[in-house]
């Protein structure tokens, strides 16, 4: 029978016959191969056709953190649930015998200095001499260090790209609410599933003052992942005031000036760190599991906070997330500080301008006036353009139009100074050119460093005359009853505040049945256009002189289409002049 079996057995090669004939040599070769497999720094494993471990070498056991015996007979998912590997690739190797490489990553039971362990593995098919598939052999080398280095470079690149993008999307206006909204909308979904921006209140305003020991903030902006909107009914809405309990996350952040981060927050913890315990129910219902709060600090002042949250389906916050959020908050805070400063100055300037540019003071009954002031644009502070009317003795009315150099609170303050000075001098009974001369000297001697152009028009309906004096200002425009427009020639002296003097007055007839229009340069000036061309465009206006004066002003603005790069002040006057002979005389300091 053995003879028959020997006859059916394929003949052995000479080398195999030699080995079988020498058991000692076989043992030596086996020991040598085992030393190689078990002494290598590579993790070697043998899997059966069901991808269950049949053998692991000592390095594989060390990397996994489990004894070798704990692997045998079990698949990877049961031994190391934190490690991800494409078993589909291994099944292809079993099917066609072509070796394949793949990347395996995750966390093992063994301690590691790396946040995420990564191996590069190669799998070969094992089969016996008859061609039966026995399983796979896998050889893996850990590349966590190199991978972490590459990951850190990629994260740094993404971080810089994110911050660069933020520079163009946050702080695009000088409006506080808009800046906060841009910040919240930017971090969702880039960094969080929900974001809120809370700002400190003006402590000098008694309307918002909180009780002693209570931190009160205003929720200025809120952004949410779309699917969280229906679940966020308990969240404070933009504009809402929030009082924060002791120990609240945002309160801790603002009191210390440092970021606050916590992951896997439990319901009891939410009730302790939320602004108020009752708000925690909304966070729990929305599935928020992690929170990050960073302070908004600019110019050494804590302006408020940026609060971020992640919900179900998102990973917890990492240290990198905290770094990026802190940098975003720092950059946004600079824009926010500028917006706050602009808001304060703009409010001050508006209040000052509003008080000074109320409707022109009561004129005499034979003179109708209307005025309009337009700032350069929504972002510009109120400027130094102004208009005024002043009733004088003898039925006369002084019309004033002026333009202080510059914009902002300083220009508005200078405008107030000029306005009050001109009023006082006019009340003293001086002629228009004398008013300008004294105003120029007084301003120059006071050391005031903002010059201004100004045009005075003294209307005297008793003889149908208007006396003009100009300090570097554009000439007035007469709109006649036949819808024609002409510039009135006025002697021009230097701007006020130079101390040069040299002003003159000229007296002409008032435009019978017409309208007198005084204006600042913002009405007509265009970039890259000569002033004479701009003035010529003004004379081509064809406007009716009947009807409300404000409608005439609106028509002038519509026809001239100012560029909006400078403030505009307009003062329109309609005189009821008696029929008189033509008047034309000049006097003053020529």
Query: For residue 120, what is the enclosing H or E element?
Result: strand 117-127
What is the spatial distance between Cα 57 and Cα 46, in angstroms, rounded to a whole number? 9
Q: Which token pair is 163?
A: 């911050």
User: Does 13 have pLDDT greater than 70?
Assistant: no
* Residue with the larger pLDDT of the pair 529 and 233: 529
| Predicted confidence band of residue 352 (pLDDT cuts 50, 70, 90) | low
The pLDDT, as a whole number, for residue 408 is 67
Q: Mean pLDDT across the chain, nearest whole number?
A: 84
The pLDDT, as a whole number, for residue 4 is 47
Give percent above pLDDT 70 in the chain.
84
The pLDDT, as a whole number, for residue 274 is 93
Sign of CA dihedral 273, 274, 280, 283: negative
The pLDDT, as a whole number, for residue 25 is 78
User: Does 380 have pLDDT greater than 60?
Assistant: no
What is the spatial distance between Cα 287 and Cα 190, in angstroms, rounded to a whole number? 19
**Nearest-5° Cα angle at 437, 432 to 443:** 120
* Residue with the larger pLDDT of the pair 353 and 99: 99
Average pLDDT over residues 254-258: 93
User: Does 503 have pLDDT greater than 70?
Assistant: yes
What is the spatial distance between Cα 464 and Cα 459, in angstroms, rounded to a whole number? 8
| Predicted confidence band of residue 462 (pLDDT cuts 50, 70, 90) | confident
Q: Which of 416, 335, 347 is nearest to 381 (CA)?
A: 347
Q: Where are the beta strands (DSSP E) in 245-365?
A: 260-262, 290-298, 301-310
Average pLDDT over residues 522-538: 86
| Predicted confidence band of residue 9 (pLDDT cuts 50, 70, 90) | very low
| Predicted confidence band of residue 3 (pLDDT cuts 50, 70, 90) | very low
The pLDDT, as a whole number, for residue 234 is 56
Please answer whether residues 88 and 119 qualify as being in contact, where contact means their C-beta atoms are separated by less than 8 angstroms. no
The pLDDT, as a whole number, for residue 201 is 87
What is the spatial distance between Cα 163 and Cα 302, in angstroms, rounded to a whole number? 21
Other residues' Cβ atoms within 10 Å of the Cβ of residue 206: 7
Flag the least confident range among 216-220, 248-252, 443-447, 485-489.
443-447
What is the spatial distance between Cα 278 and Cα 294, in angstroms, rounded to a whole number? 23
What is the spatial distance between Cα 463 and Cα 395, in angstroms, rounded to a whole number? 11
The pLDDT, as a whole number, for residue 483 is 85
Per-residue model confidence as pLDDT tens digits over 107-151: 899 988 887 788 999 999 999 989 999 999 999 998 887 766 666
Q: Name the β-bridge partners of 390.
A: 398
Q: Which of 427, 407, 446, 420 is nearest to 356 (CA)?
A: 420
Contacting residues for 254 by C-beta, under 8 A, at least 6 apart: 200, 215, 295, 302, 304, 305
Helices (H) and strands (E) in the chain, counts: 16, 24
What is the spatial distance between Cα 89 and Cα 86, in angstroms, rounded to a whole number? 6
Q: Which token pair is 100?
A: 């394949």
Whether omega before 408 lies within 30 degrees of 0, making that bond cis, reads: no
What is the spatial distance between Cα 261 and Cα 276, in angstroms, rounded to a whole number? 18
The most confident of 400-409, 432-441, 518-527, by mean pLDDT: 432-441
The pLDDT, as a whole number, for residue 319 is 87
Average pLDDT over residues 486-503: 92
Per-residue model confidence as pLDDT tens digits over 390-421: 988 888 899 999 999 877 667 777 888 888 89
Per-residue model confidence as pLDDT tens digits over 52-82: 999 999 999 999 999 999 999 999 999 999 9
Residue 290 has phi, psi (to 5 degrees) of: -140, 150
Q: Which of 401, 396, 408, 395 is nearest to 371 (CA)?
A: 401
DSSP string, 536-571: HHHHT-----SS-HHHHHHHHHHHH---SSS-EEEE
What is the spatial distance between Cα 38 and Cα 280, in angstroms, rounded to a whole number? 55
What is the spatial distance between Cα 437 and Cα 470, in angstroms, rounded to a whole number? 10
Query: CA distances (Å), 412 to each of 355, 434, 436, in order?
Result: 11, 24, 20
Contacting residues for 390 by C-beta, under 8 A, at least 6 apart: 361, 397, 398, 400, 423, 426, 427
Average pLDDT over residues 251-263: 95
Query: CA distances (Å), 39 to each of 34, 58, 64, 87, 144, in order?
Result: 8, 8, 16, 27, 21
């Amino acid at each position: 029978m053995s003879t028959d079996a020997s006859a059916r057995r394929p003949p052995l090669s000479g080398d195999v016959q030699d080995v079988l004939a020498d058991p000692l040599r076989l043992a030596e070769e086996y020991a040598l191969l085992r030393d190689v497999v078990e002494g290598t720094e590579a993790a070697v494993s043998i899997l059966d056709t069901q991808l269950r471990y049949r053998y692991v070498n000592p390095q594989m056991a060390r990397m996994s953190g489990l004894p070798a015996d704990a692997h045998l007979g079990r698949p990877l998912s049961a031994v190391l649930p934190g490690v991800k590997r494409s078993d589909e690739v291994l099944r292809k190797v079993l099917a066609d015998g072509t070796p394949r490489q793949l990347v395996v990553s995750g966390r093992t039971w063994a301690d590691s200095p790396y946040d995420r362990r990564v191996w590069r593995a190669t799998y070969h098919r094992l089969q016996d001499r008859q061609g039966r598939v026995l399983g796979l052999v896998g050889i893996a080398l850990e590349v966590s260090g190199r991978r972490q280095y590459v990951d850190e470079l990629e994260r740094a690149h993404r971080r810089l790209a994110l911050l660069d993008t933020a520079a163009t999307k946050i702080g695009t206006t000088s409006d506080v609410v808009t800046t906060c909204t841009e910040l919240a909308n930017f971090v969702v979904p880039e960094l969080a599933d929900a974001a809120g921006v809370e700002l400190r209140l003006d402590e000098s305003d008694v309307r918002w003052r909180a009780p002693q020991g209570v931190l009160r903030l205003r929720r200025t902006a809120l952004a949410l992942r779309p699917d969280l909107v229906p679940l966020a009914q308990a969240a404070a809405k933009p504009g809402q005031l929030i009082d924060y309990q002791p120990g609240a996350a945002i309160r801790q952040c603002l009191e210390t000036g440092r970021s606050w981060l916590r992951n896997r927050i439990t319901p009891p913890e939410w009730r302790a760190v939320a602004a108020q315990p009752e708000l925690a129910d909304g966070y729990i219902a929305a599935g928020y599991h992690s929170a990050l709060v960073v302070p908004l600090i600019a110019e050494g002042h804590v302006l408020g906070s940026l609060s971020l949250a992640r919900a179900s389906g998102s990973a917890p916050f990492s240290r990198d997330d905290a770094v990026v959020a802190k940098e975003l908050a720092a950059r946004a805070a600079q824009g926010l500080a500028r917006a706050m400063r602009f808001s304060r100055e703009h409010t001050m300037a508006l209040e000052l301008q509003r008080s000074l540019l109320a409707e022109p003071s009561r004129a005499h009954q034979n003179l109708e006036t209307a005025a309009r002031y337009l700032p350069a644009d929504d972002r510009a502070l109120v400027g130094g353009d102004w208009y005024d009317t002043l009733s004088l003795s003898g039925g006369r009315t002084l019309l004033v139009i002026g333009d202080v150099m510059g914009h902002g609170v300083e220009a508005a303050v200078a405008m107030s100074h000029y306005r009050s000075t001109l009023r006082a001098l006019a009340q003293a009974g001086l002629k228009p050119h004398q008013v300008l001369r004294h105003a120029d000297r007084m301003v120059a001697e006071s050391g005031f460093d903002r010059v201004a152009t100004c045009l005075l028009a003294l209307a005297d309906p008793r003889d149908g005359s208007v006396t003009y004096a100009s300090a570097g200002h554009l000439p007035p425009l007469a709109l006649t009853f036949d819808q024609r427009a002409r510039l009135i020639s006025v002697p021009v002296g230097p701007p006020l505040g130079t101390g040069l003097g040299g002003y003159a007055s000229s007296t002409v007839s008032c435009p019978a049945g017409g309208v007198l229009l005084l204006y600042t340069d913002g009405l007509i000036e265009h970039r890259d256009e000569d002033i004479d061309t701009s003035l010529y465009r003004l004379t081509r206006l064809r406007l009716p002189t009947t009807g409300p004066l404000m409608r005439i002003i609106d028509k002038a603005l519509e026809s001239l289409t100012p560029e909006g790069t400078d403030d505009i002040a307009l003062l329109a006057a309609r005189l009821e002049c008696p029929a008189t002979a033509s008047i034309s005389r000049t006097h003053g300091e020529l």
